[in-house]
Structure 1
Amino acid sequence: MNFDPKLGVHCSSDMHFSYDDGVFGPAPEFRQLNAIRRSLRDPNCKGPDPVYSIVMDVGRESDRAEMQRRMILYGVVAYAAGRLGDEPVRSQGHIHAIAPHCGWSTPELFEIWEGLAIIYAQERATDDPGRCFAVVANPGDKVVVPPSWAHCVINADPNRRMVFGAWCDRQYGFVYDEVRAHGGLAWFPVFDAEQNILWEANPRYRRSEITVREPRAYPELGITPGTPMYQQFVADPESLQWVSQPARVEKTWDHFEP
């Protein structure tokens, strides 16, 4: 790891996870290449398999009750190095399901631990995708995807793995139908000859524009710059309550930019 998330979770070279004393977490779930093919630019491509591993609900034992009470959950994901045909290693893309406890599709707060990531997000997965953003993030950077947006996470460097953590709702669920019906999201990331990422429009959507940007600070959400986001929860759990109760900052989501 080249960023310390202050959590005591470690990722091995084979994308397994280990936990320090006093830290809880499950065995990883591995996402196989066949599970995401329908949303790739080339569904028949070759690439690393598994594509990524994920552990949901990790944290310090001393924080477990507070996380449960606030309906918030921390997950960690490791992406393999390599490429999926001409595309970088990535997830297939989804929308967060409506959480029964709050009646909202909930947001997600990402923090990059290792490698180079792109968080891609579009307003919706209908024929008109709305605004589309690609946020390029390095270790320590944070990115917020707002409620109801379709999104995926990309390992932008084919020569090394990428690891990130994320705060999300405890009643998380993923909706894939609209993304799969369009053969993926509105823009495909594609490597050029120098391993730079270019963006190719998915013709199954109406014409759209993509904004490529660096992460921003999100002062409207009370995110503390320079503080690992797990540490922010420990210091001030209320400051991240919008993750599981997005209605508390309902107006913030109007015209929100990731």
Structure 2
Amino acid sequence: MSEANLSRSGLPLSLTAEGALELGDGLELKGTGHKQVADMQGLFRVDVGEQGAEWAYDTYRAIARPCDRELFERELISYDITVIAPGAVAGEPKKTSGHYHGWNEARTNTYGEVYEVLLGTALFMLQRSDDFEENPEGARVRDCVAVTVEPGQTLVVPPNYGHCSINAGEGPLVFSNLAYVPCPVLYDSVKAHHGMAYYALRDERGQLELVANDRYRDLPAIRRATVHECPELGIEFSRGAYESFVSHSDRFDYLPHPDEYVDKIMGLLDFE
């Protein structure tokens, strides 16, 4: 890999040739995480075998300038960055583990999240299930969407959709997220099914093929989508998510309060 400037973020961030995130000009973070392929055994389509020692992905949590820290903490929002390694496991591109978000206090909708691609191409797998928490092993999936997001573009994960991030490009994938800190993150149903409802696999031409995970029952056909911007919700492709939040945190009210925004968020997906 070669070094990469992550100026799309609007922050002094870069990626080293080894795939590590470098923070400049006083940026601070509160924690990091590292996963090897072996840590994701049971989430890929096949056994990870001898690839277990390979790097899968790293996370960098609660990144902020000191002058902005109070705003993020007051609004209970965290700005994080994930770096997914290039490469594949038996033809399946490296990815994050996949999870659902917990319900809001009224249990009317789960919380959403904002994902901004800074480097590489992402394929975000979304799947809706209403019983993932009470019935993790037998959860019914009602809808499946594969969303392609290019550098500079942003996806708002709709409430009620579990999600997984796949490195669909040739090099590393780097994306930021804005997340509501009190939101529970639930992995059990995805783990029980050995991954998401569909796997992404490279075919002989190098194209990504979406293959149903037969551990799920009665899966719907997967839909494909891309994204468009919406300044009203703080989503502007010409401006980084960090600066959008710092400048207009009120536009991200849908993160702690999803109920009034479900249709508007779904409307940000352009279905093929």
Note whether the superposition's TM-score is higher than 0.5. yes
Q: For the structure 1 residues 119 and 26, does the alpha-carbon distance in structure 2 shift closer, same or farther, using more than 3 Å as the test?
A: same
Distance 1:230 1:164 in 2: 12
Q: CA deviation at 1:17?
A: 2.5
Structure 1 gaps, min length 5:
none
Partner of 1:65: 70
Aligned-pair identity (%): 24
CA contact (8 A) 2:118 2:151 kept: yes
Q: Residue 55 of structure 2 aligns to a residue in which SS?
A: coil
TM-score, L = length of structure 1 = 0.89
Alignment of structure 1 residues 98-117 onto 2, 5 Å:
98=103, 105-117=110-122
Distance 2:266 2:224 in 1: 20
Q: Could you list the per-position Cα deviations for residues 210-255 of structure 1 after superposition, in whole angstroms to 9, with x for gaps in the alignment?
A: 1122222346635234221111112211111222232353564688
Question: Once structures 1 and 2 are overlaid, which stretch shifts more, 28-37 or 95-104?
Answer: 95-104
Distance 1:148 1:240 in 2: 17
Question: Once structures 1 and 2 are overlaid, which stretch shifts more, 63-72 or 16-25?
Answer: 16-25
Q: For the structure 1 residues 256 and 19, does the alpha-carbon distance in structure 2 shift closer, same or farther, using more than 3 Å as the test?
A: closer
1:190 matches 2:201: yes
Partner of 1:231: 243
Query: Match for 2:159 among 131, 147, 162?
Result: 147
Q: Could you list the per-position Cα deviations for residues 173-214 of structure 1 after superposition, in whole angstroms to 9, with x for gaps in the alignment?
A: 321111111121111100011211001011122131111222
CA contact (8 A) 1:40 1:183 kept: yes
Question: Once structures 1 and 2 are overlaid, which stretch shifts more, 144-153 or 67-76?
Answer: 144-153
Q: Residue 208 of structure 1 aligns to a residue in which SS?
A: coil
Question: Once structures 1 and 2 are overlaid, which stretch shifts more, 207-216 or 125-134?
Answer: 125-134
1:144 corresponds to which letter in structure 2? V
Question: Once structures 1 and 2 are overlaid, which stretch shifts more, 100-109 or 18-27?
Answer: 100-109
Question: Once structures 1 and 2 are overlaid, which stretch shifts more, 240-249 or 50-59?
Answer: 240-249
Q: CA deviation at 1:147?
A: 2.2
Distance 1:240 1:51 in 2: 30
Distance 1:97 1:84 in 2: 29
Alignment of structure 1 residues 130-209 onto 2, 5 Å:
130-157=142-169, 159-205=170-216, 206-209=218-221
Partner of 2:40: 36
2:193 corresponds to which letter in structure 1? H
Distance 2:28 2:246 in 1: 15
Distance 1:256 1:12 in 2: 33
Alignment of structure 1 residues 216-255 onto 2, 5 Å:
216-218=228-230, 221-249=233-261, 252=264
Distance 1:102 1:228 in 2: 31
Distance 2:21 2:86 in 1: 17
Partner of 1:82: 87
Q: For the structure 1 residues 170 and 14, does the alpha-carbon distance in structure 2 shift closer, same or farther, using more than 3 Å as the test?
A: same
TM-score, L = length of structure 2 = 0.84
Distance 1:13 1:29 in 2: 19
CA contact (8 A) 2:115 2:178 kept: yes
Distance 1:241 1:196 in 2: 38
Q: For the structure 1 residues 173 and 56, does the alpha-carbon distance in structure 2 shift closer, same or farther, using more than 3 Å as the test?
A: farther
Q: For the structure 1 residues 177 and 59, does the alpha-carbon distance in structure 2 shift closer, same or farther, using more than 3 Å as the test?
A: same
Q: For the structure 1 residues 255 and 239, does the alpha-carbon distance in structure 2 shift closer, same or farther, using more than 3 Å as the test?
A: closer
Q: How many matched pairs?
A: 257
2:22 corresponds to which letter in structure 1? S
Q: Residue 8 of structure 2 aligns to a residue in which SS?
A: coil
1:30 corresponds to which letter in structure 2? H
Distance 2:140 2:106 in 1: 30
Distance 2:248 2:175 in 1: 21
